[in-house]
Each structure stands twice: as C-alpha cells, then as structure tokens.
Amino acid sequence: MATANGNGVTTKPPPSSSPLRYSKYCQSNLRILVTGGAGFIGSHLVDKLMENEKNEVIVVDNFFTGSKDNLRRWIGHPRFELIRHDVTETFLAEVDRIYHLACPASPIFYKHNPVKTIKTNVIGTLNMLGLAKRVGARILLTSTSEVYGDPLEHPQTEEYWGNVNPIGVRSCYDEGKRVAETLMFDYHRQHGIEIRIARIFNTYGPRMNIDDGRVVSNFIAQALRGEPLTVQLPGTQTRSFCYVSDMVDGLIRLMEGDNIGPINIGNPGEFTMIELAETVKELINPEVTVKRVENTPDDPRQRKPDITKAKTLLGWEPKVSLRQGLPLMEEDFRQRLGLSENKVEAKV
C-alpha cells in the first residue's frame, strides 16, 4: 500500500527486513552499519552507539582518512566488527540501520583524488541505498553545508537550493553530496526506502586529523607546536563550529526520529577566522602569533546554519560552546603530536 511522506509525495512502503533478522540467534535489538566509522565523526558515533548494550555495530572503512586507532577500544568486543571495505564496491550484511558517513571531509584529502571522491559520493551512496533496499534498513546520509556552496542567503535554511560551482576544484565534494541527496530522495520516492539526511556544518573535536587543512585542527596543532596561526585572507570569512558530541547526538536523534530531512545540524554561533585564531591563541598558547596567508579558490565567505528545524523536529540544539570545546581537544592533539604538558615556546 502506498503512503504519503512529509513532503506529500506518495511512496511505496519500505521493504521488510530479512527473516534472518528475527532468528532466535539474533540477540541484538539493532544491528547498525557505520560507513566511514574509523574517521573523526564516525568513531565518536560508534562510541555512542556502543554505549547501548542492545546495539551491534559494524564499521566498514577503507582507512583513507580514518584509522583503526580511533576504534581501538572496541576491537575484539563481541558486539563490534571492523571491516576493511571501500564503499564504491557493493557490501552485503543484515543490518537495520546504516549511518553512511564514508567520504573524506577535508579539502586536502577530497581534492587529492577528486575522481575517487565523486565515486565515493555517487557509487558509494548507490551501493548503500542498494543494501538498504535489499535488507529493509533505514539509511542516514551525512550530507554537508557545502551543498549551499557560497551561499547568497544567510543564515542557510534547508529550503535554500545553494550557489555551487559545478566545475570547480571543490565540486567533487559539493556536487557529489548534492547527487547523493538526490539519490536518497529518488530511492525513497521510487522504492520506499526509509531515509534521513543530515546537513552537517563544521564540526570539531578530538581525533580530527592533524594538519588536514581544516581550520580548527590547523590552529590547535599550530598553537601546540608554537607555530604562527595561519589565517587565510581576508580573515573576515565566517564559520560556525559544532562540538562532535553535539553532532553525534543530533545524528542519532535524526536517525531514530520520524523526520526524513534534510535537516541542518550545526552550531549557529558564528566566528570570523580572525576571532577563531584569537580564541585558540588565548586558550591554548598565548605566545603564538597570527599570520595571514593566501586563500584557496571557492572558499565560502560565510556559513551559519538555521537550526529551527533541528530544534522543533528533533528537540536538538548544541550544548557545547567553542570556548568549552577547544580545550577538550588539547590533550588528544598533544598526545598525537608527541608533546609534553609544558607549553611550547613560540616560533615566529
């Protein structure tokens, strides 16, 4: 029987799960697949999902930007499996939920092999939707604020269609995610797949790749090493930063709620790059200097989520402020950089 979803579109009912899922040998309530689960957000999501003793978690990851180290506390756990797999190849497993995160998120890595990035977004999402269809799983895509491109509306609501360069150096990521969203909705309308789409805004926290070109990890690493904080010109461009525990909470609420999205998940507190550099300097190493450097092409001037939908539909809003969150990264970065507790002398 056909049903109408929140957009008034008629869809087929979702396929039912395989009978294997109801086998008496299936002890868990939910078997959850996390693609890209060895990465920054993915590994924090896995930590949270594993807290619930009724969840079984399977991670697939090709370790392009992720690391087994991020999941080391779970390796060998009876409710956890880690599989080296590239989502551009098909994958089969009896699962109830798919959190589809696999995709490099930092410009340095997604521009490294743009063809691979767009394949990951398009073929990878097709493969995960195929799996969702086959086993009747609900699937959540971690899309991005990059779908708004260099936005002409501020703040960005989910209704805004974006201002994206289709042929630029960032397009493999931006347009890749836009196609991934299209695929999600087409599978939903045509095959009745249960979908959820999160549009994630800049997220930060422990386990971000060091020196991956993302501004928060760059500044923290530079401050800890005593190097100048490199602010890309003009420095007045703004970003909003969401602490990773808030992000994970938002993703789980979206997955388990009734709304399919897309829903913006991010922290609306807006900072210029200069303000961010000054805050890192104050909190992490007051000795360092701030240096202006050239910017990269197509860098958006401003980004700020309108999170009205997340507040009203998911009952979600961020709890951790930037001033609370930045110091929480210090210990993790210090350990990975092999630095001692003592503040490093500034190199000018």
Q: What positions carry a catalytic annotation?
A: 173
Taking CB under 6 A as the criterion, which residues in 140-169 touch ligand NAD? Answer: 142, 144
Taking CB under 6 A as the criterion, which residues in 108-147 touch ligand NAD? Answer: 120, 124, 142, 144
Q: Is 329 in the site for ligand NAD (CB under 6 A)?
A: no
Angle at 182 between CA 99 and CA 128, to 5 degrees: 35
107's tokens: 């410009």
Binding segment toward ligand NAD, per CB under 6 A, in 188-196, 198-206, 300-308, 320-328: 198-206
Helices (H), 139-243: 171-191, 215-225
Taking CB under 6 A as the criterion, which residues in 59-88 touch ligand NAD? Answer: 61-66, 86-88
Q: Is 285 in the site for ligand NAD (CB under 6 A)?
A: no
HSE on the CB side for 154, CA within 13 Å?
A: 14
Q: Is 200 in the site for ligand NAD (CB under 6 A)?
A: yes
User: Which are the contacts of 342, defined by CB distance < 8 A and separation ≥ 6?
Assistant: none
Taking CB under 6 A as the criterion, which residues in 298-317 touch ligand NAD? Answer: none
Binding segment toward ligand NAD, per CB under 6 A, in 161-169, 196-204, 284-292, 335-343: 196-204
Q: Is 326 in the site for ligand NAD (CB under 6 A)?
A: no
Nearer to ligand NAD, 101 or 223 (CB): 101
Q: Hey, what amino acid is at 100?
A: H
CB of 96 to ligand NAD, least distance (A): 20
State how beta strands 138-144 and 195-200 pair.
Answer: parallel
163's tokens: 């201002």
CB of 1 to ligand NAD, least distance (A): 34
Nearer to ligand NAD, 11 or 121 (CB): 121
Q: Is 101 in the site for ligand NAD (CB under 6 A)?
A: yes
Q: Is 40 in the site for ligand NAD (CB under 6 A)?
A: yes
User: Closest Cα to residue 263, out of 203, 320, 205, 305?
Assistant: 305
Count residues near ligand NAD (CB under 6 A): 28
Cα separation of 200 and 298, whole Å? Answer: 19
CB of 275 to ligand NAD, least distance (A): 18
SS3 (DSSP) at 156: strand
**What end-to-end distance do the CA atoms of the chain give, in Å?**
69
Nearer to ligand NAD, 144 or 285 (CB): 144
CB neighbours (10 Å) of residue 309?
20
Query: Of residues 32, 33, 34, 41, which one binds ligand NAD by CB under 6 A?
Result: 41
SS3 (DSSP) at 292: strand
Judge whether 284 and 229 are in contact, CB under 8 Å: no
Binding segment toward ligand NAD, per CB under 6 A, in 34-42, 47-55, 71-79, 314-322: 34-42
User: Which are the contacts of 22, defined by CB distance < 8 A and separation ≥ 6?
Assistant: none
Chain Cα centroid distance, residue 141: 9
Summarize as ranges the residues that interact with ligand NAD (CB under 6 A).
Answer: 35-36, 38-42, 61-66, 86-88, 101-105, 120, 124, 142, 144, 200, 202-203
